[in-house]
A and B are shown apart, each in its own frame.
Chain A
Amino acid sequence: MIARIGFNFVQVVVVMVFAPLLAGTVSRLKEMVQSKRGPSIFQPYRDIWKLFHKDQVISEESSWIFRFTPYLVFVTPIFVTLLIPVLTSYPLFFAFMGDMLGGGFVLALGGFFATLAAVDTGNPYGPMGASRTRLVGFLAEPVFMIVFFTVSFVAGSTIPYIVQQRWVNPIANFFEPTHVLIMLAFFMLILAEGGRIPVDNPSGHFELAMIDESKGLEYSGPAAALMKWGGQMKFLVLICIFLNVLVTPWGLARSITIHDLALAIPLVLAKVFVFALALVAVECSLAKLRLFRISEFLGAAFIISVAAMITWVFAV
């Protein structure tokens, strides 16, 4: 019991510590593909450290939502981390506190408050980014639902620890069309939710073209650090759900020993690195879509997820 609680907190620590590293690695890899040198992969840590030591400016016109949001954005990915398999293939202490849908709602709560806070200060770019995020969000929502419902329908459960065993046991299940189509749809969803390139440019600094970034423009000092760190953790959590629940449950700890857990950390990081390579390949070979083409991108994701559902439902 104590071990399970402890392991659960180890998961949280791993997500907190390695989320900035993922962001740094992806941006460094991108710079390398574009034959530039780019900042060190530890640059996000330095940014966060620097921001925590700076003064904070808060607009007098803003309400409590603006002050409250950074903490919520920071805390929601941590809550989700308690629910999902990051390092272990067996359920941990908090695993039955909520299922995948619950995790989705918790993540959506952070996003909801982030958009409210963007509107709160009256900065002209904030509401613009907020409304665009909602555009992406409400197009992504049906895909999320179909994917989760299909996955839980196939596995007969909505608890991620049970779902992950379904695809590889026996191994023929891995090649089910439903599985492959769901992986594809969820990958497109990660690109949209994480603000990656076909939908949004994460490294762009031009306010009129921003979608995700412009929500945090008003924050300074520690609040900005929390927003940044929270966003990076959310991205890592989404990738962990994708890799550990939907794609490859291999490399996770199988028994409750410190030894297994310690071995799982580098294995999971290696998987995330492979995912980062795929992400960089996608980001460097596609151009950012125009705003009204995003509906086509997510429409395609929706079609793929529904195709996954019908190939399962109608298969005899």
Chain B
Amino acid sequence: MPHAASPNSIIIQLNALAGGLFLLCTFGMVATRQVQGCMRFFILQSVFLASSAFLLGLQPLSWHLIAVAMINLINKPILIPWLFRKTVPEEVYTRREITQVMNIPSSLLIALGLTIGAYYLASPLLKFGAGLPALANLPIGLATLLLGAYTLTVRREAVPQLLGLLSMENGAFFASIAIAPELHLFVELVVAFDVLIAVFVIGVLTRAIHKEIGTTEVGSLSVLKEEPSR
């Protein structure tokens, strides 16, 4: 249980708050029906990721983490949506309702179970790092990783699936700034560009699929050829 006593408790609480809102955005990505809304939750999620990295970089002052926060702030909320706009056709965005394999309330309940599982898995590890400001990050990052994988599984549209993948990446990042804060900056840059290239490739692929068959519903693309007898 948190007991606020140390002088940097405000930073710990703010970091935990960023973590809580980060998790909330992940839930939002599971629950929302619209491609636009999914994208907005992803942007918010990335902003909270960056703010958490920034806050953790403040306490024992580490320019490294602040630089990571800056890279994330430029890369995810600005560059990735821009790239999406450029590559994915407009129609995909304007679709109001995107289909899911599960209905949304049961989807949310499964997401809740995954989160509790993530906390349960992470809790023995947390005992070793008691008192560190980055404590909240590990279970939340793990939960986001699982929820991203879940989104990837149940969504039937290409763009929300990719957003699920990116949310997995965000979760891994969120946990990693707690576990390995001194990762080389070069690696972070490589990861940032990697994500951009993934978005670009999938965006172009989505565009091609959409041009060929007029839909991006990956869930219904289960047969290689169209049935000849029709």
Contact = CB atoms under 8 A, between A and B. Distances in A.
A177 B116 contact: no
Interface residues of B, number: 35
A314 B123 contact: yes
Contacts of A308: 20
A303 B116 CA distance: 11
Interface in B87-140: 104-105, 108-109, 111-112, 115-116, 119-120, 122-123, 126-127, 130, 135-136, 139
Contacts of B59: none
Contact of B119 (A170, A181, A300, A314): A314
Given A175-B10, A310-B119, A311-B136, A299 B20 contact: no
Report whether over half of chain A's contact residues are helix, strand or loop; otherwise say mixed: helix
Contacts of B202: none
Interface size on A, as a range, is 20 to 34
Nearest to A298: B105
A170 B10 CA distance: 10
A177 B13 CA distance: 7
Contacts of B109: 299
Contacts of B115: 307, 310
A168 to B, nearest CB: 11
B209 interface: no
A316 interface: yes
Contacts of B23: 307, 311
A307 B10 CA distance: 21
A264 B84 CA distance: 53
B150 interface: no
Contacts of B116: 310
Given A303-B112, A314-B119, A316-B126, A176 B17 contact: yes
B130 A311 contact: no
Given A180-B20, A184-B24, A315-B1, 16 more contacts: A170-B4, A170-B9, A171-B10, A172-B9, A175-B16, A177-B13, A180-B17, A299-B31, A299-B108, A302-B108, A303-B108, A310-B119, A315-B2, A315-B16, A316-B1, A316-B135
Interface of A: 170-173, 175-178, 180-181, 184, 295-296, 299-300, 302-304, 306-308, 310-312, 314-316
Give the 4 A-B CB pairs with smallest separation, nearest first: A177-B20, A175-B13, A314-B119, A299-B105
14 contacts: A170-B9, A172-B4, A172-B9, A300-B31, A302-B108, A303-B27, A306-B112, A310-B115, A312-B1, A314-B119, A315-B2, A315-B16, A316-B123, A316-B135
